[in-house]
Amino acid sequence: MNISIIGGGIGGLTLGNVLKQNNIDFKIYESAQEIKPVGAGIAMAGNAMQIFDKLGLKEKIENAGVKMHSLIITDQKLRTISKTDVLKLESKYKVCNIAIHRAELQKVLSENISDHIILNKRLSTIEKKENYHLTFEDQTKIESEIVFGADGVKSLVRNQILKSGEIRNAKQKCWRGILTTDIPEKYSHNAYEMWGEGQRFGFVKINENTLYWYALVNEKAYSEDIDLLEKFGDFHPDVLDMISKTAKSNIIFNDIIDLKPMKKWSVDNLCLIGDAAHATTPNMGQGGCQAVEDAYIIGKLLETEKDWNNIFQQFEKIRRSKVDRIVNTSWTLGKIAQWEHFIGLRNFIFRHMPESINQKQMEKIIRLEM
C-alpha cells in the first residue's frame, strides 16, 4: 500500500516512526530543501515523552534538551503568580518535561526514518480520483492510496480536499528568540512566563548555554518600528538583557493564530493530523505534543484494525474531545494573559488558585487516551 505523509514537522516525523514500528512502508514529503537548524524552542510535556519512550526515543530527546521541573507564571518583576510542579507527575508517569530546540527534536525524530523522507517537495495540488494524485512545485507527480496531511495550520491538503478550516487570529504579535549565553542556575530547570499589561515575556533553557525566549504584545500596540527594549522597559532587568543580547538573525516574528475546531478531519483514505487538523495557540505548550498524540493513537489503532477508513473514524472519535478542550482553553488563557486592564484582579485570582487545580489540569493533559 502506497502511504504518503505530507509534511516533515513533528507530527509527520512522529507518525513516520510509528508506521516504521508497525512495519508499514511510507514516504514523507517535506517542502524544506534540508533539515537544518531553524525555528525556536518547544516544550515536550509528559504526554509526548511517554510516546517517545514507547518509540525508543526518550533518552535521545532528554539528552538533546533540558528537563523542566516547574512551570512558573510571574508578574513583570518576576514575582510568582502561580507555580505548577511537574516533578510530582514525573514519578507517576516515568517521564520528564523537556524544553528543546525544535530543530534538535526534528533531528532526533528523523534519524531512524531518513530513508523515508524526500526533501524539497512542496505540494502544489492534490486531487482525488481512484487514488490521490499529488503534484509538487517541481512538477513531479505521485499517486498515493493513503494520504496524511501533516502540513500545518495553512494545510494545502485540508484546503484542497476537505475544503474546510477557519484560521483564527488572536490579534497578538509574537517574537521568538534564541540566545547563546551563560544562564543563571536559578533559571536552569524552570519555564517562566511573565504577565504584564497587554504583553507577556517567557523564557526557558533549552541547552547547556542556550535560552529560548518569546515576547507578545497585543496587535493594537504593534507598529513596524516597535522597540522591544522600550516596550518591555518595565519588566525585570534580565528580560531586557535577554532581548538586547539576541542577534536579530536569531529572532522570528509572527502572528498568533489557531484553527477553529473542525467537525471532520478525514475523508476517504485521507486524514489530517497535528496543526493541519487542530492547530492551537502556544499558551499551554501542547501544539507539538498533540501532534505526537495523534501519531500514537493511529499506531494503537493499527494493532487491531487494518482498514484505514475505520482507523480514521475511530481516531477522530478518540481524539476530538481532548484536542478541542486544549484548543479552546489555550485560546481563552491567551486572551486573559494579554489583558490590559484589571491586571491586579487577574493576578490575585491566579495567585490564590490552589496548586492542586493546576496539578489536576496538568495530569488531565499528560494522561494518554489509549
Residue 259 contacts residue 165 (beta carbons within 8 Å) = yes
Query: How far are the Cα atoms of 12, 67, 78 from residue 195, in angstroms, in the given order?
Result: 33, 23, 9
Residue 177 contacts residue 243 (beta carbons within 8 Å) = yes
Is the domain spanning 3-168+258-366 CATH 3.40.50.1860? The answer is no
Given a cut of 80, is residue 35 above it in pLDDT?
no
Give tens-digit pLDDT for 306-320. Answer: 999 999 999 999 999
Give tens-digit pLDDT for 139-165. Answer: 999 999 999 999 999 999 999 999 999
Query: How far are the Cα atoms of 8, 33, 113, 137, 236 from residue 118, in angstroms, in the given order?
Result: 9, 9, 11, 14, 45
Q: Which has more pLDDT, 195 or 35?
A: 195
Q: How many CB atoms lie within 10 A of CB 137?
A: 12
Mean pLDDT of the chain: 96
Whole-number Å distance between alpha carbons of 325 and 63: 31
Given a cut of 90, is residue 1 above it in pLDDT?
no
Q: 141-144 and 80-85 as β-strands: parallel, antiparallel, unpaired?
A: unpaired
Give tens-digit pLDDT for 183-239. Answer: 999 999 999 999 999 999 999 999 999 999 999 999 999 999 999 999 999 999 999
Whole-number Å distance between alpha carbons of 248 and 48: 31
Average pLDDT over residues 58-69: 97
Average pLDDT over residues 268-274: 98
Name residue 306's amino acid: K
Instruction: Sketch the domain layout of the chain as residue ranges.
Output: 3-168+258-366
Which of 323, 320, 7, 306 lies closest to 148, judged by CA?
7
Q: Confirm whether pTM is higher than 0.75.
A: yes
Average pLDDT over residues 252-272: 97
Given a cut of 80, is residue 37 above it in pLDDT?
no
Which of 234, 188, 164 lies closest to 70, judged by CA?
188
Whole-number Å distance between alpha carbons of 315 and 271: 9
Residue-level pLDDT at 36 = 66
Residue-level pLDDT at 88 = 85
Residue percentage of the chain with pLDDT more than 90: 94
Q: Residue 274 phi/psi, 5° resolution?
A: 60, -145
The C-alpha cell that represents 366 in the structure block: 499528560
Give tens-digit pLDDT for 69-86. Answer: 999 999 999 999 999 999
Given a cut of 90, is residue 34 above it in pLDDT?
no
Given a cut of 80, is residue 305 above it in pLDDT?
yes
DSSP code per residue over 102-160: HHHHHHHHHHTTGGGEE-S--EEEEEESSSEEEEETTS-EEEESEEEE-S-TT-HHIII
Give tens-digit pLDDT for 96-106. Answer: 999 999 999 99
Residue-level pLDDT at 121 = 97
Residue burial 60-78, b: 16+ Cβ < 10 Å; e: rest: bbbebbbebbbbbbbbbee
Which of 309, 317, 313, 308 lies closest to 26, judged by CA?
308
Residue percentage of the chain with pLDDT more than 70: 99
Give tens-digit pLDDT for 322-356. Answer: 999 999 999 999 999 999 999 999 999 999 999 88
